[in-house]
């Protein structure tokens, strides 16, 4: 009996112990899930790495396939963007041999330092588009590239949406005038496209609107095509209120005054380069314009970039074996408002069209695209590279948030007479607080890829460190 009693006692204790142990495990698991972020190792992102993509840091290099899921580079002026990212990658022959690259180059520095290497070592034909330097620029005629009424109307909308970036609120008066000016501009563009030859350009279309009365325009259009007349009729519906026609014309001519600049009129009238060429032969296209003229050039640049994107994506749909295109867009917000760009970042993934977007202020994107579309764009940039020196509060808070929370032990002391009690509790904190991101060391970067933990690494600056001599040998300065 005693033996049976002891056996039953053990079984009861064991039965009671099971839920206690399980409860302890569940408690620990719950505590772990409460905040699971930590600084990861490169091995945890191994599936995204390779030898044929961009180098993010000293130890981290992406594969070209990962690049097609796009990259956001968070860095302001002076954050080593050029010296630790753009220049080292443009002085490396790691991308697929048969591929093209597009580089937005605000200062012309990237062209000067890397174009010779891209030509001589990487085997890419060098093309320069510089709208304020027509003597050294290839001509790109947006109107000549258009293939139908839809593409012409998209040019008109892109031009006017970027005409005055001080009207982010589309309900404002200025934006309403720009909206009413769209069919007027579209009819003129269609007419110049219909005429062809030397008249087929944006500058001529703008001059047509400025120098002709409504009656004269209607006479011209009446002998053209039904598509032109349709746009003209839409414009005429806006003329019921007194003074409307004059206000629309003034708004249009003021908004697109950059096309009255002989330099811009020159480079947008010559049809010397088509975007689909990027898909046919290895090309390094450097788009050079000073950031101090970003607002002035916004209608031009947004139109050029928008058409380039559309042409490259559409060409791939018809020619699956065409070359991949890798785009390096420095100061992305300065390119202006690119229509349907939230769809571009998703469409580019399956069409061998890689986007590397440099962002130093998320609020700039909010002003251009609104909060919802900006979030869509950011969410579709799978890789995020954070450079030191960021200080804009909204941007560093965003980065801090996506790095996640971690658990820390917090000790507290209590004194009761001569007795000191020390207790430890678990608390959560941001893995990287906003201040820690703002104070990143000058040679340090953070890398966030998809759903993996953040990785920290050292930057690879081309003019210092063990690779300095190698990069120096690859630089042969080219001046425009």
Angle at 255 between CA 252 and CA 260, to 5 degrees: 90
> How many angstroms separate the CA atoms of 158 and 156, rounded?
6
* C-alpha to C-alpha distance for 198 and 413, rounded to whole angstroms: 84
As to burial, measured by CB atoms within 10 angstroms (0-12 exposed, 13-18 middle, 19+ buried), residue 196 is exposed
User: Do the Cβ atoms of 206 and 199 come closer than 8 Å?
Assistant: no
Please state whether beta strands 325-329 and 100-105 pair in parallel, antiparallel, or not at all (unpaired): parallel
What is d(CA 275, CA 161) in angstroms, rounded to the nearest whole number?
22
- Between CA 76 and CA 25 the distance in angstroms is 46
Ordered alpha helix ranges (H), 162-224 = 173-195, 202-211, 214-222
Cα–Cα separations (whole angstroms), residue 38 to 34, 413, 473: 13, 27, 39
Residues 6+ apart with CB under 8 A from 44: 452, 453, 455
Tell me the C-alpha distance between 251 and 255, whole Å: 6
Instruction: In whole angstroms, give the CA distance from residue 242 to residue 257.
Output: 25
| Per-residue pLDDT at 241 | 59
pLDDT score of 303:
95
Helices (H), 124-280: 142-145, 149-161, 173-195, 202-211, 214-222, 226-236, 244-255, 262-267, 277-280
pLDDT of residue 417: 73
Burial (CB count within 10 angstroms: exposed 0-12, middle 13-18, buried 19+), residue 171 = exposed
Q: How many Cα atoms sit within 13 Å of 468 on the Cβ side?
A: 4
pLDDT at 164: 65
386 - beta bridge partners?
Answer: 74, 446
pLDDT at 175: 64
Residue 167 to residue 218: CA distance in whole angstroms: 30
**Global pTM value:** 0.88
What are the pLDDT tens digits along the chain (480 aa)? 445 545 445 444 444 444 333 333 333 444 445 678 899 999 999 999 999 999 999 999 999 999 999 999 999 888 889 999 999 999 999 999 999 999 999 889 999 999 999 999 999 999 999 999 999 999 999 999 999 999 999 999 999 988 865 444 444 445 677 778 889 999 999 999 999 999 999 999 999 998 999 899 999 999 899 999 999 998 888 776 556 777 788 778 777 888 889 999 999 999 999 999 999 999 999 999 998 898 889 999 999 999 999 999 999 999 999 999 999 999 999 999 999 999 999 999 999 999 999 998 999 999 999 999 999 999 999 999 999 999 999 999 999 999 999 987 777 777 777 777 777 777 888 999 999 999 999 999 999 999 999 999 999 999 998 889 999 999 999 988
Q: Which residue has the tokens 């968070």?
A: 74
Beta bridge partners of 40: 455
Q: What is the pLDDT of residue 25?
A: 35
Q: Which of 296, 232, 307 is nearest to 259 (CA)?
A: 296
């Amino acid at each position: 009996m005693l033996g049976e009693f002891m056996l039953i006692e053990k079984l009861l204790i064991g039965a009671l112990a099971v839920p206690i142990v399980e409860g302890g495990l569940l408690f620990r698991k719950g505590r772990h899930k409460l905040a699971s972020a930590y600084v990861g190792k490169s091995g945890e992102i191994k599936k995204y790495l390779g030898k044929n993509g961009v180098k993010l840091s000293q130890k981290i290099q992406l594969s070209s396939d990962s690049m097609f899921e796009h990259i956001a580079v968070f860095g302001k002026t002076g954050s080593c963007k050029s010296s630790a990212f753009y220049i080292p990658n443009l002085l490396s022959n790691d991308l697929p041999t048969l591929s093209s690259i597009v580089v937005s180059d605000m200062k012309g520095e990237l062209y000067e330092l890397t174009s010779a290497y891209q030509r001589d070592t990487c085997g890419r034909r060098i093309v320069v588009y510089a709208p304020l330097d027509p003597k050294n620029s290839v001509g790109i005629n947006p109107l000549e590239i258009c293939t139908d009424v839809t593409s012409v109307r998209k040019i008109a909308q892109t031009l006017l949406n970027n005409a005055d970036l001080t009207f982010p609120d589309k309900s404002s008066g200025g934006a309403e005038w720009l909206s009413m000016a769209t069919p007027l501009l579209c009819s003129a563009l269609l007419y110049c496209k219909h005429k062809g030859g030397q008249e087929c350009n944006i500058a001529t279309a703008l001059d047509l609107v400025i120098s002709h009365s409504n009656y004269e325009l209607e006479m011209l259009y009446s002998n053209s095509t039904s598509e032109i007349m349709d746009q003209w009729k839409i414009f005429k519906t806006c003329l019921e209120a007194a003074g409307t026609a004059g206000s629309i014309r003034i708004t249009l001519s003021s908004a697109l005054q950059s096309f009255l600049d002989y330099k811009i009129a020159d480079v947008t009238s010559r049809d010397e380069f088509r975007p689909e060429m990027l898909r046919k032969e290895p090309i390094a296209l450097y788009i050079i314009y000073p950031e101090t003229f970003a607002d002035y050039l916004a209608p031009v640049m947004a139109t050029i970039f928008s058409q380039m994107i559309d042409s490259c994506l559409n060409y791939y749909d018809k020619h699956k074996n065409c070359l991949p295109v890798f785009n390096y867009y420095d100061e992305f917000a300065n390119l202006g408002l690119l229509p349907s760009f939230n769809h571009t970042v998703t469409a580019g993934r399956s069409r061998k069209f890689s986007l590397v977007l440099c962002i130093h202020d998320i609020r700039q994107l909010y002003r251009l695209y609104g909060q919802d579309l900006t979030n869509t764009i950011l969410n579709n940039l799978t890789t995020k590279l954070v450079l030191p020196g960021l200080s804009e509060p909204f941007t560093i808070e965003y980065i801090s948030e996506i790095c996640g929370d971690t658990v820390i032990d917090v000790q507290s002391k209590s004194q009761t007479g001569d007795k000191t009690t020390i207790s430890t509790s678990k608390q959560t904190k941001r893995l990287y607080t906003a201040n820690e991101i703002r104070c990143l060391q000058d040679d340090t970067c953070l890398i966030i890829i998809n759903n993996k933990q953040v990785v920290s690494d050292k930057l690879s600056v081309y003019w210092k460190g063990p690779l300095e001599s190698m990069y120096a040998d690859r630089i042969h300065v080219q001046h425009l």
